[in-house]
Structure 1
Amino acid sequence: MGGKVRFIHAADIHLGSLLHSTGRAPQEISNLIKRVTYEAFVRICNAAIKYSVDFVLLAGDLYDHKSRSVAANQFFVHQCQRLEKENIPVYIIAGNHDPLQEQGELFDLPKNVFIFDSEQVEVQEVVNKEGELIARILGQSYRGRSESRKMYSSFTVPDTGVCNIGILHTQLDPTNNNYVPCSLNDLICKNDIHYWALGHIHQPRILHRTHPVIAYSGIPQGRDFGEEGVGGCFLVEMTPQNEPEIWFIPTSSVVWKRVEIAIDEDEKNVPENFTCLENLILNKAEDILNKVPPIPEGFKLAQDNNWPDFFQGYIIQWILTGRGEIHDLLVEQEEEAIRLLVENLQDRLKDRKPFLWTESVVVRTGKPLPHLKSLKEQNPIFAEIEEIVHLSLTDAQFKKDLVSELGQIWEDRVDHENINEQKFQLDEETLQAIVKQAEEIVIEKLIEGREL
């Protein structure tokens, strides 16, 4: 007892779901969009075999209720049969997108696959080739599309002599009764569990690096701009006595990326017309294409990994900021200007390897203004505006009051799994953009009104 274990932690595969891309993508990119979630799961299984893991953990939302199909189910079975040949078991909990009571398996599962029950916490013991106990895996599946039970409280083990691993699909929000209400501290206090393999949050995060380790592996293949960056899974190696080693294994063929371009970054070369603006964006595109897509910050890349050999390309949203005379042209003909800019960028970059597909262009530019430093010297009101902006973004109470003043059209507690279509989603990035734009409008109006 108490030996080393090595495993794959993955979650939120949403097998068979499509990327949420729109527009007139060429056939090659359209075909790719249909298969990338499948390819990501193949790479997870490839990694399990390559690194000779003891088992694979899938922490919920293997399927997507909108796209669960016969083909997806059969594909999953075939991949697990590959793992079965290598004596690698697969342990799965069902999440809010694939709850157990909603739809059963369409095919017989291989004997190496175990799906945790939805009515109670189950414990699976893992033994090595010599028959020695090396790990316990605890889990419980969702029984519906929301789950209000505090499952974690029933994760109990007889001892800590082997690695005890809990699988949980949760938002880690004790006030949210849709996705297993609990807090980070609730899991930390369950210190007879060595590793919490979490699912539901689509960005990879290690929330607690010491005992017990608490981690989200993230989505293996992003499907929209809310799932930016390189997706993947974790390779984990641990013993009961020591903190685990965690490596990131990239699995995404396509990377979603928002790119902000300040048109006045180079004050001597602010674009004056649409041709200059298009060239500015194309130069930025070249910079992106000439670099390897970075893995999420703070993670180590698994050794002997073939990233980025299988990387196919980017889906990009360009966000134009800064100030220049071209702002008036963009505003006067915004709809047509953006449409033509998007189409031109798509045509210029679609055949690149890797490809770079422009999904959209967002205009947040403004008219040229005097330098804020000189404005503050002329009138102290501009210093006061700057201070209010700073407080709006840094002071917790000030920010809370601001959000309440924005009105009920905004949803500030963004739930990526249950979007309220009747409201705008107010994340931190959007709030910063609103405040910055408000600051610039106030300054513009003061200057126009000659209140200097």
Structure 2
Amino acid sequence: MKFIHAADLHLDSPFLGLQNHTIPRDLWDKIRNSTFTSFERIVNDAIEQNVDFVLLVGDLFDRNDHSVHAETFLVQQLNRLNDHQIPVLISFGNHDYFSGRVNQLGYPENTYAFSNKVATTTLLLKDGQRVAISGFSFGSQWIKDPIIQDYPQASNADWNIGMLHGSLATLNSPEANYAPFNLNQLQEKGYDYWALGHIHKRQSLNPQKTINYSGNTQGRHINESGEKGYLMVEAAQHVLKPKFVATAPIIWQTIQIEFNGESVGELPETIFSHLASLNFYKLSFLKVVLDSHITIPSDILKAIFDGTFLTALQNLNTQNWQQLNCWITSIKVHQSKPVIISRLDQAYFDQAKSETFTKETLFDLAGSLKALSFINDDLNAQDTLNDIFNRSTAILQENIDHEEGDS
């Protein structure tokens, strides 16, 4: 037996953290089509590999009121799989929740969509094996109840598989609203495989790697970095083994570049020369981090923090992005030990840093904003704290420089 486990397609995703006015039109078209391209590659692989079925575990669309284009594209791909007699099982998640009226979806006959209550459907494979697959679809954006309790125990089918769009309670995310569960609850069901969705980071939750988040199929911002795609799951000695297959046409990554005292005018050449040496094999969206063991001049810091330096870089990037196969989305600084010089005592500043610049303080200041998953992810990233500290340091240094210049 062989099947595809994919989740979180997020067709029609708006992409976060991009300044659309600076992006070349042909590059923007690639961005806009990237979630569609990734899913089309998944369908291509399903057909070429002649899989037994495809599981799509929630958030096929980025929002409940998705576009006609996204809907017709999905149906088109389902029909391609139908032409090759490949069954597709769909559960909807918190982004694309629906009323549960399955007969109104208009999907081809190969497609089974789970309603709002947990149900089990059984597939009879070409070799005679029976596969029992259990799942449900979100009926609203928030589901606080542990729906896992409604899943049946494993049946006497040859294989038992669970599809669940939700969150493991121990993951570092504000996920109490998304059908929470714990690992023991999954294991107690006795299933051969759990196909999970909702968490965009690909990960296995047990040593046997039979309980998996496949991650999303296309990263949409820097906190969803690295390759994205799906899991090809194959049976070997009555154990289901997953293998990751990359399909995303765009990957996000962070690039460290050493700062060696260049002027603000020299710095772009340093950056692009370094990027050219990396030979990106796939279109890459980059967060560039200037790593410095010396104090970065205040004029460079100011240009970085007020966005003018990024604008200048992107204007240059419009001319060479195809050659370099990359696009700079942001630029940050990391100074190993920023120094505050003059009347502000360094020891007091270091003490203030340790007491003030903490993750707890940052979360308190964020308030209700941290309920948004992408903001929560950003707040949990260590470089966010570093960036805020570096910005504050630069502001203090600039003010000190002005005071010393006036005195």
Shorter-chain TM band? 0.7 to 0.9
Pairing partner for 2:284 from 314, 337, 348: 314
Pairing 1:364-383 to 2, within 5 Å after superposition: 364-365=334-335
Computed over aligned residues only, the root mean square deviation of the Cα atoms, in angstroms, reads 3.8
Mark the runs of 5 or more structure 2 residues left unpaired by the alignment: 341-346, 402-407
CA contact (8 A) 2:233 2:241 kept: yes
Q: Is the aligned partner of 1:429 residue 2:382?
A: yes
Pairing 1:40-439 to 2, within 5 Å after superposition: 40-65=38-63, 68-101=66-99, 108-118=106-116, 120-129=117-126, 132-157=128-153, 159=155, 162-173=158-169, 176-190=175-189, 192-210=190-208, 213-238=210-235, 241-242=238-239, 244-263=240-259, 270-288=260-278, 290-292=279-281, 311=282, 313-324=283-294, 326-334=296-304, 335=306, 337-339=308-310, 341-352=312-323, 355-365=325-335, 402-406=358-362, 408-410=364-366, 417=373, 419=375, 425-430=378-383, 433=386, 437=390
Change (3 A) 1:104 1:32: farther
- TM-aligned CA deviation for residue 367 of structure 1: 7.9
Count of matched residue positions in the alignment of Structure 1 and Structure 2? 388
* Distance in 1, Cα, partners of 2:307 & 2:362: 30
Q: Deviations over 1:69-102 (max 9, x none)?
A: 2221111111111111111100011100111229
- TM-aligned CA deviation for residue 338 of structure 1: 1.3
Q: Secondary structure at the match of 1:274?
A: coil
Change (3 A) 1:418 1:260: closer
CA contact (8 A) 2:378 2:384 kept: no
* Distance in 2, Cα, partners of 1:351 & 1:200: 33
Q: Secondary structure at the match of 1:81?
A: helix
Q: Deviations over 1:364-415 (max 9, x none)?
A: 4478769xxxxxxxxxx89xx79x99xx8xxxxx99x954445621369955
Mark the runs of 5 or more structure 1 residues left unpaired by the alignment: 264-269, 293-310, 371-380, 393-397
- TM-aligned CA deviation for residue 438 of structure 1: 10
CA contact (8 A) 1:403 1:412 kept: no
The percentage of counterpart residues that share the same residue type is 28
* Distance in 1, Cα, partners of 2:175 & 2:14: 28
Q: Secondary structure at the match of 1:147?
A: coil
- TM-aligned CA deviation for residue 166 of structure 1: 0.4
* Distance in 1, Cα, partners of 2:237 & 2:136: 22
Change (3 A) 1:261 1:413: farther
* Distance in 1, Cα, partners of 2:302 & 2:154: 70
Change (3 A) 1:345 1:206: farther
CA contact (8 A) 2:10 2:35 kept: yes
Q: Secondary structure at the match of 2:267?
A: helix
Change (3 A) 1:260 1:67: farther
Taking structure 1 as the reference length, the TM-score comes to 0.74
* Distance in 2, Cα, partners of 1:414 & 1:287: 38
* Distance in 2, Cα, partners of 1:241 & 1:272: 60
What is the identity, as a one-letter code, of the residue corresponding to 1:167? M
Q: Deviations over 1:108-167 (max 9, x none)?
A: 21000011010x21111111225x343111001111011122121222145355221100
- Per residue, is there more helix in 1 or in 2? 2
